[in-house]
């Protein structure tokens, strides 16, 4: 059957904001077919999928395996064959091996065949992106694709973010509308950044632009969707939801010599705490589910970090898939015991108590001769943490549960964590969340249940946990501020050093003591070896540890200003 002809002045486009799985070519093909069928039921002429959809994004070095690239192209050819039914055409992202090299590409499918290929020209090589490692840029500036008599420009993600004039060239080549497949990860405030990028390109090209963005967690990255379109007059044409899968159809009409979106969704975009919380929740859910874990286990200490991680786990997975274990020792306060139990009860998840006195004292006894004549200190404190880590890993091994580790970004920055102890775990949902933000997220979650959450409403993090001074409880009357500056001070200095790469002088000019800034900078550098061994976790800020910030472990530089 020949493709259904779209009227020359109307084009109905389905934006497929979906959650592919890297490497699951068959699963991603099935998801694409389901989305196309849904789009057909709603009268769409064309379905726009996201960047490298059939492979999952980012595939990293997986695309260096020829068998994988071949499987991806074979899957798209099968999808192309589907289009001979006369239903919607398809634009879909796929890695392609051609004479010019291995490309991050799209294929346009219609009438039972591939009618066009286009290759990404501007390959990002900063922050979380490393595409120049595996792909070759397109050999030429891409021209528009003739789809049922409409000339469509299809720049791919970075082609609209970088300095190359891809959109302007497409406009000069006769493109009438720009459709952009993207794999743009979340960080705080990213939706507004994307809007501004697209508005700039709309101004320069004079063409409306539809921005389709991937959804879902992939290791440390969370793709938040929030696909949208901007009219040629720079107004918002439509806005899809954030953190939710959807296939939404927008109607475009030719008005004079240009195109205008006449109908599309207008969803609310969450702000601040809600967006960060939902990103952490989605990242944890997808990491657990995509890697095949049935449930999770975490140490619930009565502190705020483990409490919010427990809440995130229940919201992401449901109470029946979350197990919390309190592991008290002689320094564990009665408040902590009560707070941990109250938190688990409020969340409805399983709660066990495993005292650690015997194993800790067993380690101390075994090491007694080696440690004879030395004073007790950090080593003995860390034995407690490492005992807890061993118990959690034993439960993980026995029952197949993934251990959720619970250290926040403030602690990870300055090494206030025990390697092979509280750092044990498979994934950390708050790894990129500073301590003061943990408090803000906890208070927010006590008043609102976010969309898609499986946990209960009401106060799920006891107020006493939020109000009390944070403590590792590894010695009598210990608080975090015995070893660290107050968290509001520490977090501001760390944001300046990590996200801002600011000098010591500039940070001091903000009102901080020079000695404190030097000390925090030193702690930040010497903790690099710990961070290299930390579990992956959700990226929330513009510069997370791991993919974005890659400092050497061996490093003697200090800013002496």
| CA dihedral angle for residue 69, residue 60, residue 452, residue 340, rounded to 10 degrees | 140
- Any idea which residue has 């306060």 for tokens? 333
| Angle, CA of 355, 359 and 362, to the nearest 5° | 145
Q: Where are the beta strands (DSSP E) in 197-274?
A: 209-213, 215-218, 221-224, 228-230, 236-239, 246-255, 258-263
Q: Which residue(s) pair with 27 in the sheet?
A: none
Q: Rounded to the nearest 5°, which phi and psi values hold at 11?
A: -140, 120
Name the DSSP letter for residue 4.
P
Secondary structure (3-state) at 132:
helix
Give the span between the Cα atoms of 284 and 527, in whole angstroms: 25
Residue 129's pLDDT is what?
85
Pair 538, 281: CB distance under 8 Å? no
Residue 115's pLDDT is what?
97
Pair 117, 91: CB distance under 8 Å? no
Secondary structure (3-state) at 131:
helix
Domains defined along the chain, listed by start: 10-263 (3.60.110.10), 273-478 (3.40.50.620)
Residue 7's pLDDT is what?
53
Residue 546's pLDDT is what?
81
| CB proximity list for 445: less than 8 A, separation 6 or greater | 277, 308, 311, 315, 460, 461
Enter the tokens of residue 325: 């274990």
Pair 431, 533: CB distance under 8 Å? no
Pair 23, 70: CB distance under 8 Å? no
How big, in percent rounded to 5, are the helix, strand and coil portions of the chain?
40, 20, 40
Residue 3's pLDDT is what?
55
Q: Rounded to the nearest 5°, which phi and psi values hold at 43?
A: 75, 20
Enter the tokens of residue 507: 């940070």
Give the span between the Cα atoms of 440 and 438, in whole angstroms: 5
Residue 280's pLDDT is what?
98
Pair 236, 40: CB distance under 8 Å? no
Pair 487, 435: CB distance under 8 Å? yes
- Any idea which residue has 């939404």 for tokens? 248
Percent of the chain with pLDDT over 90: 82
- Any idea which residue has 């510069």 for tokens? 543
Residue 477's pLDDT is what?
65
| Angle, CA of 547, 484 and 516, to the nearest 5° | 90
- Spans of the chain, pLDDT less than 50: 6
Residue 472's pLDDT is what?
65
Tens of pLDDT, residues 277-318: 999 999 999 999 999 999 999 999 999 999 999 999 999 999
Q: Write the CA distances from 90 to 109, 355, 464, 512, integer angstroms.
A: 5, 58, 54, 56
**Which residues are annotated as catalytic?**
51, 120, 157
Residue 271's pLDDT is what?
87
Residue 42's pLDDT is what?
95
Give the span between the Cα atoms of 299 and 306, in whole angstroms: 7
Spell 38-75 as b/e; 16+ CB within 10 A means b: bbbeeebbbbbbbbbbbbbbbbeebbeeeeebebbbeb
How large is the C-alpha radius of gyration of the chain? 26
Chain-centroid distance of CA 96 in Å reads 26
Give the span between the Cα atoms of 35 and 49, in whole angstroms: 9
Residue 124's pLDDT is what?
85
Secondary structure (3-state) at 238:
strand
Tens of pLDDT, residues 143-194: 999 999 999 999 999 889 988 899 999 999 999 999 999 999 999 999 999 9
DSSP per-residue string spanning 269-335: PP-HHHHHHHHHHHHHHHHHHHTT-S-EEEE--SSHHHHHHHHHHHHHH-GGGEEEEE---TT--HH
């Amino acid at each position: 059957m020949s493709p259904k002809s779209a009227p020359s002045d109307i084009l109905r486009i389905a934006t497929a904001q979906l959650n592919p799985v890297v490497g699951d070519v068959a699963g991603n093909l099935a998801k694409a077919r389901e989305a196309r069928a849904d789009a057909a039921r709603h009268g769409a002429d064309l379905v726009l999928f996201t960047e490298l959809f059939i492979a999952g994004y980012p595939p990293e070095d997986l695309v260096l395996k020829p068998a994988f690239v071949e499987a991806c192209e074979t899957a798209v050819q099968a999808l192309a064959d589907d289009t001979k039914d006369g239903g919607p055409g398809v634009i879909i992202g796929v890695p392609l091996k051609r004479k010019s090299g291995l490309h991050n590409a799209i294929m346009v499918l219609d009438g039972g065949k591939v009618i066009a290929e286009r290759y990404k020209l501007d390959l990002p090589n900063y922050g979380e992106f490393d595409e120049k490692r595996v792909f070759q840029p397109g050999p030429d500036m891409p021209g528009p694709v003739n789809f049922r008599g409409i000339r469509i420009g299809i720049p791919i993600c970075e082609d609209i973010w970088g300095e190359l004039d891809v959109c302007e060239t497409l406009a000069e080549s006769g493109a009438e509308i720009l459709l952009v497949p993207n794999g743009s990860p979340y960080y705080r405030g990213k939706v507004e950044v994307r809007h501004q990028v697209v508005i700039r390109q709309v101004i320069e090209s004079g063409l409306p632009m539809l921005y389709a963005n991937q959804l879902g967690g992939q290791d440390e990255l969370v793709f938040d969707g929030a696909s949208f379109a901007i009219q040629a007059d720079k107004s918002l044409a439509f806005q899809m939801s954030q953190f939710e899968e959807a296939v939404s159809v927008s109607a475009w009409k030719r008005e004079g010599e240009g195109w205008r979106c006449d109908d599309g969704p207008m969803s609310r975009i969450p702000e601040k705490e809600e967006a960060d919380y939902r990103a952490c929740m989605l990242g944890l859910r997808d990491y657990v589910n995509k890697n095949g874990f049935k449930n999770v286990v975490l140490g619930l200490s009565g502190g705020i970090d483990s409490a919010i991680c427990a809440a995130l786990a229940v919201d992401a997975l449901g109470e029946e898939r979350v197990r919390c274990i309190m592991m008290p020792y002689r320094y564990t306060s009665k408040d902590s015991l009560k707070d941990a139990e109250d938190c688990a009860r409020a969340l409805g998840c399983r709660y066990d108590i495993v005292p650690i006195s015997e194993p800790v004292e067993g380690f101390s006894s075994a090491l007694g001769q080696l440690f004879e004549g030395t004073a007790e200190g950090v080593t003995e404190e860390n034995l407690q943490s490492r005992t807890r880590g061993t118990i959690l890993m034993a439960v993980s091994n026995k029952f197949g549960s993934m251990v959720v580790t619970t250290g926040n970004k403030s602690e990870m920055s300055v090494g206030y964590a025990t390697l092979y102890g509280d750092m044990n775990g498979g994934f950390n949902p708050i790894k990129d969340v500073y301590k003061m933000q943990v408090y803000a997220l906890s208070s927010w979650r006590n008043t609102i249940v976010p969309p898609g959450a499986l946990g209960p409403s009401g106060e799920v993090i006891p107020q006493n946990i939020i109000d009390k001074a944070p403590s590792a409880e590894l010695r009598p009357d210990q608080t975090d501020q015995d070893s660290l500056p107050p968290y509001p001070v520490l977090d501001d200095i760390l944001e300046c050093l990590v996200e801002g790469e600011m000098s010591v002088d500039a940070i001091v000019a903000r009102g901080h003591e020079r000695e404190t800034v030097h000390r925090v900078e030193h702690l930040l550098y010497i903790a690099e070896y710990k961070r290299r061994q930390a579990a992956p976790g959700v990226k929330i800020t513009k510069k997370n540890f791991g993919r974005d910030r890659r400092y050497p472990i061996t490093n003697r530089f200090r800013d002496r200003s």
